[in-house]
Structure formats: C-alpha cells, structure tokens
Amino acid sequence: MKAESKKNMNIVFIGNSITQGALIATPSHDAPPVKAALYLTKQPSVASVKYSNQGVSGCTTTDYLPTTETLFPKAKEAADKFADETWATLVFSIMLGTNDSAITGPNGAPASPEKYEENMKAIINQLLALYPSCKIVLHRPVWYSPNTYNGAMYLKEGLNRLQSYYPVLQSLVEEYAKRFPGQVFMGDTEAFDYFKANYLTDLIPEEGNAGTFYLHPNEKGAAVLGEYWGKAIMKVVE
C-alpha cells in the first residue's frame, strides 16, 4: 500500500477505571488503550497511531459533561495537542456507563437510560462542535459480576441498568447518522459477552461487601478489550 493512502490516527480514550487500567501493575504498558493502539499500529494500512488515555477511575457521564467542567477540559486538552495534525484522523473512543449504573456511590448514579442518553448526547455534541471532522466511537460498557459492591453498590440491579444503556448507544448512532453522517459509530459490542464467559481468567477477583466480585480486567483481559476496541476503531477509519 502506498504511504499516501495509509491511515494516521490520533485517539483520545474517554472512560473510567477500566479504560484507565486500574489495578493493573503497569497501566502505561498494559491498559486497554495501549493495547488498542498496539493492535492498530500492526495493521498494514496504518502509518501512525498516537493516543491519550483519559480514563478516570470512578467517573460517570455526569463527571464528563462539558458543563460540569471536571473531566471534559482534560479530554479537550488532550485532543487539542493533536489539533495541528490535520493529516491524521482524530478519534474519540468512549466507554462510559459502568459507574452510571451503580445503585449508590458515583456522581449521578443511578442514571436512568434516559439520563444516560441525555449525558452522552451532551458529550458527543460538544465534541462534534469543537472537532467538526472527528470520528466518535461508542463502545458497549462491559459486564461485571452481579455481586459487585465496593465503595459503590452495583449488584444485579446495576448490571440490569448497565445492559439498558446498550440500546441507547445503538439509537444514538442511528440518530447521529442522519445529522452527522460518517462521524458517530458503534464501537465494540462483543467484550460484554466475552467477559461474562471468561471472568475467572480475564477479570481481577476483588473482595467486596457481597463476596468476591469481578469488574476490572487483568493484563490478559485488558489486552483482549484493547484488541476489541482496536478492531472497532479500524472499521471506522477504513
């Protein structure tokens, strides 16, 4: 493939502790965004990949709202560093919802599917306004065990709520396709079922208030998740 037609990507990963790589010994080496970038770099049609991991432990869509000015400015700052590189595709890879789904604890939790939709729209709208040529990839938030209860209470109710966010993401993608064609995409949808089936080998056992729970990927799980994200992003930029 000619060098001119090879893809250059600058990716800002927006997410929570799962994106951040919480509980992984060296997240700078093993967090999902690192592995996603590595996967993309290995593709023959890709010339370069730069990325910024803006995953923040415990965060919700409420924390990421542009109006709260808590985390959004940091994501903007990360994206602005790539602004001059007009030859590269600016991609926002977003996986939020885990903490929104909690019964108690995180800011804005529990977020109804309607509230989740409202918040995600606010985030997406502002990204599109600031970066008119960007691409936004929405990943389905991944499975956690129905006894998850640490500083925040999730449990079965939380897991059910988490699953109600997936149709919201699908409808958002359809909606934006009409108004902003070629800019907002469904990302990974497979990791949820993967972790549900492989939590014993790919998630970290944590002691909680309702027994040993599984929420955060270990090194193996983070590599799998990163590859799922990488594949989804690759489809979008091709």
Q: CA 187, CA 11: separation in Å to the nearest integer? A: 13
The CATH number of residue 162's host domain is 3.40.50.1110
Burial class (CB in 10 A: 0-12, 13-18, 19+), 86: exposed
Give the pLDDT confidence score for residue 79 in this predicted structure: 99
Give the pLDDT confidence score for residue 5 in this predicted structure: 82
Average pLDDT for 133-149: 98
Average pLDDT for 135-140: 99
Global pTM value? 0.97
Query: Residue 135 sits in which domain range?
Result: 5-235
For residue 1, pLDDT over 80 is answered with no
Number of structural domains in the chain: 1
The b/e string for 41-55 (b: 16+ C-beta within 10 A; e otherwise) is eebeebbebebbbbb
